[in-house]
Structure 1
Protein backbone atom coordinates (compact mmCIF):
# COMPACT_ATOMS: atom_id res chain seq x y z
CA UNK A 1 0.00 0.00 0.00
CA UNK A 2 1.10 3.56 -0.74
CA UNK A 3 0.41 6.68 1.30
CA UNK A 4 -0.68 9.90 -0.41
CA UNK A 5 -0.43 13.14 1.58
CA UNK A 6 -2.27 16.20 0.27
CA UNK A 7 -2.13 19.78 1.46
CA UNK A 8 -5.57 21.41 1.08
CA UNK A 9 -5.57 25.17 0.46
CA UNK A 10 -3.87 26.01 -2.82
CA UNK A 11 -3.14 22.36 -3.59
CA UNK A 12 -6.56 20.70 -3.70
CA UNK A 13 -8.27 24.10 -3.98
CA UNK A 14 -7.65 27.10 -6.20
CA UNK A 15 -7.60 29.50 -3.25
CA UNK A 16 -7.47 29.92 0.50
CA UNK A 17 -10.61 28.51 2.15
CA UNK A 18 -9.67 29.26 5.76
CA UNK A 19 -10.13 33.04 5.55
CA UNK A 20 -13.51 32.86 3.82
CA UNK A 21 -14.81 30.39 6.39
CA UNK A 22 -13.64 32.62 9.25
CA UNK A 23 -15.25 35.73 7.78
CA UNK A 24 -18.50 33.95 6.94
CA UNK A 25 -18.85 32.75 10.55
CA UNK A 26 -17.85 35.90 12.41
CA UNK A 27 -20.65 38.23 13.49
CA UNK A 28 -20.44 41.94 12.77
CA UNK A 29 -19.00 42.72 16.21
CA UNK A 30 -16.17 40.23 15.76
CA UNK A 31 -15.48 41.50 12.24
CA UNK A 32 -15.21 45.11 13.42
CA UNK A 33 -13.12 44.18 16.45
CA UNK A 34 -10.95 41.92 14.33
CA UNK A 35 -10.41 44.62 11.74
CA UNK A 36 -9.34 47.03 14.46
CA UNK A 37 -7.10 44.69 16.42
CA UNK A 38 -5.67 42.56 13.65
CA UNK A 39 -5.00 45.07 10.86
CA UNK A 40 -1.44 45.81 12.11
CA UNK A 41 -0.69 42.07 12.32
CA UNK A 42 -2.17 41.41 8.89
CA UNK A 43 -0.01 44.21 7.47
CA UNK A 44 3.06 42.64 9.04
CA UNK A 45 2.04 39.33 7.50
CA UNK A 46 1.69 40.92 4.06
CA UNK A 47 5.15 42.44 4.50
CA UNK A 48 6.44 38.96 5.44
CA UNK A 49 7.39 40.19 8.90
CA UNK A 50 4.90 37.93 10.68
CA UNK A 51 4.52 34.34 9.44
CA UNK A 52 1.06 32.94 8.78
CA UNK A 53 1.48 30.13 11.36
CA UNK A 54 1.75 32.85 14.02
CA UNK A 55 -1.12 34.98 12.69
CA UNK A 56 -3.67 32.21 12.04
CA UNK A 57 -4.12 31.12 15.69
CA UNK A 58 -4.72 34.75 16.67
CA UNK A 59 -7.41 35.13 14.01
CA UNK A 60 -8.96 31.80 14.97
CA UNK A 61 -9.10 32.74 18.64
CA UNK A 62 -10.89 36.01 17.89
CA UNK A 63 -13.31 34.41 15.43
CA UNK A 64 -14.32 31.25 17.28
CA UNK A 65 -13.81 31.69 21.01
CA UNK A 66 -17.16 31.07 22.72
CA UNK A 67 -19.04 30.03 19.58
CA UNK A 68 -21.37 27.04 19.71
CA UNK A 69 -19.97 23.89 18.16
CA UNK A 70 -23.37 22.93 16.71
CA UNK A 71 -23.78 26.33 15.04
CA UNK A 72 -20.33 26.27 13.44
CA UNK A 73 -20.77 22.66 12.33
CA UNK A 74 -24.08 23.50 10.69
CA UNK A 75 -22.44 26.40 8.87
CA UNK A 76 -19.59 24.09 7.86
CA UNK A 77 -22.06 21.68 6.24
CA UNK A 78 -23.38 24.46 4.02
CA UNK A 79 -19.85 25.67 3.29
CA UNK A 80 -18.76 22.23 2.16
CA UNK A 81 -21.77 21.57 -0.04
CA UNK A 82 -22.19 25.02 -1.59
CA UNK A 83 -18.81 26.75 -1.64
CA UNK A 84 -16.03 24.16 -1.68
CA UNK A 85 -17.14 22.55 -4.97
CA UNK A 86 -16.54 25.90 -6.68
CA UNK A 87 -12.86 26.00 -5.68
CA UNK A 88 -11.81 22.34 -5.82
CA UNK A 89 -9.30 21.63 -8.58
CA UNK A 90 -10.79 18.88 -10.80
CA UNK A 91 -7.35 17.45 -11.58
CA UNK A 92 -6.50 17.09 -7.89
CA UNK A 93 -9.86 15.51 -7.10
CA UNK A 94 -9.12 13.08 -9.93
CA UNK A 95 -5.68 12.38 -8.42
CA UNK A 96 -7.23 11.64 -5.02
CA UNK A 97 -9.71 9.23 -6.56
CA UNK A 98 -6.93 7.62 -8.59
CA UNK A 99 -5.02 6.91 -5.39
CA UNK A 100 -8.17 5.49 -3.79
CA UNK A 101 -8.81 3.22 -6.76
CA UNK A 102 -5.25 1.93 -6.43
CA UNK A 103 -5.90 1.03 -2.79
CA UNK A 104 -3.65 3.78 -1.41
CA UNK A 105 -4.33 5.51 1.90
CA UNK A 106 -5.11 9.19 1.28
CA UNK A 107 -4.64 11.82 3.99
CA UNK A 108 -5.30 15.55 3.82
CA UNK A 109 -2.74 17.40 5.95
CA UNK A 110 -3.72 21.03 6.37
CA UNK A 111 -3.25 24.16 8.45
CA UNK A 112 -6.90 24.92 7.77
CA UNK A 113 -9.40 24.17 10.50
CA UNK A 114 -11.37 21.09 11.38
CA UNK A 115 -15.09 22.01 11.16
CA UNK A 116 -15.35 21.98 7.38
CA UNK A 117 -12.35 19.80 6.58
CA UNK A 118 -13.75 16.92 8.64
CA UNK A 119 -16.97 17.02 6.64
CA UNK A 120 -15.25 17.26 3.27
CA UNK A 121 -12.80 14.45 3.97
CA UNK A 122 -15.48 12.20 5.42
CA UNK A 123 -17.52 12.69 2.25
CA UNK A 124 -14.61 11.37 0.18
CA UNK A 125 -13.68 8.63 2.62
CA UNK A 126 -10.19 9.99 3.26
CA UNK A 127 -8.28 10.72 6.46
CA UNK A 128 -7.48 14.12 7.92
CA UNK A 129 -4.74 15.79 9.94
CA UNK A 130 -5.35 19.50 10.47
CA UNK A 131 -5.52 22.43 12.86
CA UNK A 132 -8.23 21.02 15.10
CA UNK A 133 -10.38 23.44 17.07
CA UNK A 134 -10.62 22.69 20.78
CA UNK A 135 -14.12 22.06 22.17
CA UNK A 136 -15.36 22.44 25.75
CA UNK A 137 -18.93 21.96 26.96
CA UNK A 138 -20.40 22.41 23.48
CA UNK A 139 -18.40 25.55 22.67
CA UNK A 140 -15.17 26.22 20.82
CA UNK A 141 -12.45 27.72 22.98
CA UNK A 142 -10.77 29.38 20.01
CA UNK A 143 -7.58 27.41 20.63
CA UNK A 144 -6.08 24.57 18.62
CA UNK A 145 -5.77 21.12 20.13
CA UNK A 146 -2.25 20.57 18.79
CA UNK A 147 -1.26 23.93 17.37
CA UNK A 148 -1.21 25.27 13.82
CA UNK A 149 -0.66 22.33 11.47
CA UNK A 150 1.94 23.88 9.19
CA UNK A 151 5.68 23.79 8.55
CA UNK A 152 7.61 21.36 10.72
CA UNK A 153 4.53 20.72 12.87
CA UNK A 154 2.77 19.43 9.74
CA UNK A 155 5.52 16.89 9.17
CA UNK A 156 5.68 15.97 12.86
CA UNK A 157 1.90 15.47 12.98
CA UNK A 158 2.16 13.04 10.08
CA UNK A 159 4.95 11.08 11.76
CA UNK A 160 3.13 11.03 15.11
CA UNK A 161 -0.12 9.83 13.54
CA UNK A 162 1.03 7.46 10.81
CA UNK A 163 3.66 4.72 10.75
CA UNK A 164 5.41 5.72 7.54
CA UNK A 165 7.49 2.53 7.53
CA UNK A 166 4.34 0.50 6.93
CA UNK A 167 3.98 1.93 3.41
CA UNK A 168 6.03 0.90 0.42
CA UNK A 169 5.92 4.44 -0.94
CA UNK A 170 4.90 7.88 0.36
CA UNK A 171 3.75 10.51 -2.12
CA UNK A 172 3.10 14.13 -1.10
CA UNK A 173 1.52 17.17 -2.73
CA UNK A 174 1.91 20.80 -1.60
CA UNK A 175 2.08 24.39 -2.82
CA UNK A 176 3.81 26.64 -0.26
CA UNK A 177 6.92 26.64 1.91
CA UNK A 178 4.67 25.56 4.81
CA UNK A 179 4.50 22.18 3.03
CA UNK A 180 8.22 21.70 2.51
CA UNK A 181 8.79 19.68 5.68
CA UNK A 182 5.96 17.31 4.74
CA UNK A 183 7.21 17.01 1.16
CA UNK A 184 10.63 15.98 2.45
CA UNK A 185 9.06 12.99 4.23
CA UNK A 186 7.94 11.47 0.94
CA UNK A 187 9.70 9.30 -1.60
CA UNK A 188 7.93 11.23 -4.34
CA UNK A 189 6.77 14.84 -3.90
CA UNK A 190 5.02 17.43 -6.04
CA UNK A 191 5.14 21.19 -5.48
CA UNK A 192 2.53 23.15 -7.43
CA UNK A 193 2.17 20.24 -9.80
CA UNK A 194 5.87 19.78 -10.49
CA UNK A 195 8.37 17.31 -8.99
CA UNK A 196 9.83 18.65 -5.76
CA UNK A 197 13.38 18.35 -4.57
CA UNK A 198 14.78 19.22 -1.15
CA UNK A 199 17.27 21.36 -3.05
CA UNK A 200 14.35 23.60 -4.09
CA UNK A 201 13.96 24.91 -0.52
Structure 2
Protein backbone atom coordinates (compact mmCIF):
# COMPACT_ATOMS: atom_id res chain seq x y z
CA UNK A 1 0.00 0.00 0.00
CA UNK A 2 2.74 2.46 0.95
CA UNK A 3 4.85 1.39 -2.01
CA UNK A 4 1.92 2.11 -4.31
CA UNK A 5 1.69 5.62 -2.89
CA UNK A 6 5.37 6.29 -3.60
CA UNK A 7 6.72 5.79 -0.07
CA UNK A 8 8.43 2.41 -0.19
CA UNK A 9 9.66 0.86 3.01
CA UNK A 10 12.68 -1.35 3.41
CA UNK A 11 12.31 -4.75 4.94
CA UNK A 12 13.43 -3.40 8.30
CA UNK A 13 10.46 -1.01 8.44
CA UNK A 14 12.53 2.13 7.78
CA UNK A 15 11.77 4.46 4.92
CA UNK A 16 14.22 4.15 2.06
CA UNK A 17 17.07 6.67 1.73
CA UNK A 18 16.85 9.62 -0.63
CA UNK A 19 17.92 9.46 -4.27
CA UNK A 20 21.43 10.50 -5.43
CA UNK A 21 19.96 13.79 -6.73
CA UNK A 22 18.76 14.58 -3.22
CA UNK A 23 22.24 13.83 -1.92
CA UNK A 24 23.84 16.25 -4.40
CA UNK A 25 21.33 18.98 -3.55
CA UNK A 26 21.82 18.47 0.18
CA UNK A 27 25.59 18.48 -0.16
CA UNK A 28 25.51 21.71 -2.18
CA UNK A 29 23.22 23.25 0.44
CA UNK A 30 25.62 22.19 3.21
CA UNK A 31 28.59 23.79 1.45
CA UNK A 32 26.66 26.95 0.57
CA UNK A 33 25.59 27.41 4.20
CA UNK A 34 29.15 26.73 5.38
CA UNK A 35 30.82 29.17 2.99
CA UNK A 36 28.32 32.00 3.53
CA UNK A 37 28.46 31.74 7.32
CA UNK A 38 32.25 31.38 7.37
CA UNK A 39 32.57 34.56 5.29
CA UNK A 40 30.15 36.37 7.63
CA UNK A 41 32.12 35.17 10.67
CA UNK A 42 35.52 36.22 9.35
CA UNK A 43 34.21 39.52 7.96
CA UNK A 44 32.57 40.51 11.25
CA UNK A 45 35.74 39.59 13.14
CA UNK A 46 37.79 41.76 10.79
CA UNK A 47 35.36 44.65 11.26
CA UNK A 48 35.46 44.20 15.02
CA UNK A 49 39.26 44.38 15.05
CA UNK A 50 39.20 47.41 12.74
CA UNK A 51 36.55 49.49 14.53
CA UNK A 52 36.55 48.40 18.18
CA UNK A 53 38.92 49.07 21.06
CA UNK A 54 39.83 46.07 23.26
CA UNK A 55 37.68 45.95 26.38
CA UNK A 56 35.57 48.99 25.47
CA UNK A 57 31.84 48.37 24.96
CA UNK A 58 29.82 50.09 22.24
CA UNK A 59 26.07 49.86 22.96
CA UNK A 60 23.96 48.69 20.00
CA UNK A 61 20.59 47.96 21.62
CA UNK A 62 20.95 49.87 24.88
CA UNK A 63 21.96 47.51 27.68
CA UNK A 64 20.69 44.46 25.78
CA UNK A 65 23.42 44.12 23.15
CA UNK A 66 26.80 45.73 22.75
CA UNK A 67 30.05 45.31 20.87
CA UNK A 68 33.19 44.62 22.91
CA UNK A 69 36.41 43.28 21.38
CA UNK A 70 38.14 40.52 23.33
CA UNK A 71 40.62 37.82 22.37
CA UNK A 72 39.65 34.41 23.70
CA UNK A 73 42.27 31.64 24.04
CA UNK A 74 39.57 29.17 25.13
CA UNK A 75 36.47 27.51 23.74
CA UNK A 76 33.10 29.02 22.92
CA UNK A 77 31.90 31.58 25.47
CA UNK A 78 35.41 31.83 27.02
CA UNK A 79 35.54 28.31 28.49
CA UNK A 80 38.80 26.34 28.75
CA UNK A 81 41.12 29.34 28.39
CA UNK A 82 44.19 27.37 29.49
CA UNK A 83 43.83 24.55 26.94
CA UNK A 84 44.19 26.34 23.60
CA UNK A 85 46.28 23.66 21.85
CA UNK A 86 44.01 20.87 23.06
CA UNK A 87 40.93 22.77 21.88
CA UNK A 88 42.55 23.40 18.50
CA UNK A 89 43.31 19.69 18.09
CA UNK A 90 39.75 18.79 19.04
CA UNK A 91 38.39 21.33 16.55
CA UNK A 92 40.52 19.79 13.78
CA UNK A 93 39.10 16.34 14.56
CA UNK A 94 35.54 17.70 14.72
CA UNK A 95 35.95 19.40 11.33
CA UNK A 96 37.20 16.15 9.78
CA UNK A 97 34.23 14.23 11.24
CA UNK A 98 31.75 16.75 9.80
CA UNK A 99 33.51 16.61 6.42
CA UNK A 100 33.18 12.80 6.38
CA UNK A 101 29.50 13.04 7.35
CA UNK A 102 28.90 15.57 4.58
CA UNK A 103 29.31 12.82 1.98
CA UNK A 104 26.40 10.89 3.51
CA UNK A 105 23.88 13.69 3.94
CA UNK A 106 20.69 13.57 1.87
CA UNK A 107 18.38 15.48 4.23
CA UNK A 108 18.17 19.22 3.66
CA UNK A 109 17.63 20.02 7.33
CA UNK A 110 20.63 17.86 8.25
CA UNK A 111 22.58 19.72 5.54
CA UNK A 112 21.68 23.06 7.11
CA UNK A 113 22.59 21.81 10.60
CA UNK A 114 25.94 20.38 9.48
CA UNK A 115 26.62 23.53 7.43
CA UNK A 116 26.13 25.68 10.54
CA UNK A 117 28.30 23.29 12.55
CA UNK A 118 31.13 23.23 10.02
CA UNK A 119 31.03 27.02 9.67
CA UNK A 120 31.19 27.44 13.44
CA UNK A 121 34.06 25.01 13.85
CA UNK A 122 35.97 26.41 10.87
CA UNK A 123 35.42 30.03 11.90
CA UNK A 124 37.01 29.64 15.31
CA UNK A 125 39.59 27.12 14.03
CA UNK A 126 40.78 29.68 11.47
CA UNK A 127 41.48 32.07 14.34
CA UNK A 128 43.35 29.41 16.32
CA UNK A 129 45.52 28.48 13.36
CA UNK A 130 46.36 31.92 11.95
CA UNK A 131 46.01 34.57 14.66
CA UNK A 132 48.39 35.69 17.40
CA UNK A 133 50.14 34.44 19.45
CA UNK A 134 50.93 31.75 16.88
CA UNK A 135 49.95 28.70 14.86
CA UNK A 136 47.68 26.30 16.80
CA UNK A 137 47.69 28.78 19.72
CA UNK A 138 45.78 31.68 18.18
CA UNK A 139 43.16 33.55 20.16
CA UNK A 140 39.59 33.70 18.88
CA UNK A 141 38.07 37.12 18.17
CA UNK A 142 34.88 37.66 20.20
CA UNK A 143 32.86 40.87 20.02
CA UNK A 144 29.14 40.33 20.75
CA UNK A 145 28.27 41.24 24.33
CA UNK A 146 25.06 40.46 26.20
CA UNK A 147 24.52 41.43 29.83
CA UNK A 148 25.83 38.85 32.33
CA UNK A 149 27.02 36.58 29.52
CA UNK A 150 30.46 35.80 28.02
CA UNK A 151 31.39 37.71 24.87
CA UNK A 152 30.91 35.57 21.74
CA UNK A 153 31.00 35.69 17.94
CA UNK A 154 29.11 34.48 14.85
CA UNK A 155 30.89 31.11 14.86
CA UNK A 156 29.69 30.46 18.43
CA UNK A 157 26.12 31.23 17.35
CA UNK A 158 26.47 28.84 14.40
CA UNK A 159 27.53 26.00 16.70
CA UNK A 160 24.49 26.58 18.92
CA UNK A 161 22.09 26.70 15.96
CA UNK A 162 23.66 23.46 14.70
CA UNK A 163 23.16 21.79 18.07
CA UNK A 164 19.47 22.75 18.00
CA UNK A 165 18.96 21.39 14.46
CA UNK A 166 20.79 18.15 15.28
CA UNK A 167 18.66 17.63 18.39
CA UNK A 168 15.47 18.27 16.39
CA UNK A 169 16.49 15.75 13.72
CA UNK A 170 17.46 13.17 16.32
CA UNK A 171 14.13 13.56 18.13
CA UNK A 172 12.26 13.24 14.83
CA UNK A 173 14.23 10.10 14.03
CA UNK A 174 15.57 11.48 10.73
CA UNK A 175 18.90 10.04 9.63
CA UNK A 176 21.59 11.79 7.58
CA UNK A 177 20.38 10.03 4.44
CA UNK A 178 16.85 11.33 4.95
CA UNK A 179 15.38 8.00 6.03
CA UNK A 180 13.23 7.85 9.13
CA UNK A 181 13.72 5.40 11.96
CA UNK A 182 10.71 3.15 12.56
CA UNK A 183 8.82 4.45 15.58
CA UNK A 184 9.34 1.14 17.33
CA UNK A 185 10.02 -2.39 16.17
CA UNK A 186 6.96 -4.48 16.90
CA UNK A 187 8.95 -7.44 18.09
CA UNK A 188 7.70 -7.72 21.62
CA UNK A 189 5.38 -10.58 22.23
CA UNK A 190 2.47 -10.86 24.61
CA UNK A 191 3.27 -12.42 27.98
CA UNK A 192 2.92 -16.16 27.83
CA UNK A 193 2.95 -16.31 24.01
CA UNK A 194 6.01 -18.56 24.09
CA UNK A 195 4.45 -21.06 26.47
CA UNK A 196 3.93 -24.47 24.86
Higher helix share: 1
TM range (shorter): under 0.3
TM-score normalized by structure 2? 0.23
Higher strand share: 1
Choose 1 or 2 for highest CA Rg.
Answer: 2
